[in-house]
Amino acid sequence: MSGPDGHTLFGTREPLFRHRLAQAGIEVGVPEPADPDRWNEVTYQELGGGRILPVSHSVSLEIIDGLELRLA
């Protein structure tokens, strides 16, 4: 799923941002392939409407935990 401007998905799929951050010494974790779609849905369909469902909160935490484990 893509948001109105596609920035959420674009930022996780294109190497430009990761490369520029790495040049600045910032380690970048890229989510699992399905995670950006899940995150994009939460961002645009819920947060954009001023709400977040409990299940979406759990999804967000799962994505973050997965990134932490891969970067450890």
* pTM greater than 0.75 (yes/no): no
Taking only the tens of pLDDT, the chain with its 72 residues reads 444 455 556 666 677 777 888 899 987 777 777 777 777 777 777 777 788 788 888 888 888 888 888 877
Which pLDDT value is given to residue 62? Answer: 87
Q: Which CATH number fits domain 7-71: 2.40.440.10, 3.40.50.1860, 3.30.43.10, 3.40.50.1970?
A: 3.40.50.1860
Q: How far is the CA of 38 from the CAs of 1, 20, 63, in angstroms?
A: 8, 25, 9
Enumerate the domain spans of the chain.
Answer: 7-71
CB 66 within 8 A of CB 32: yes
Which pLDDT value is given to residue 1? Answer: 44
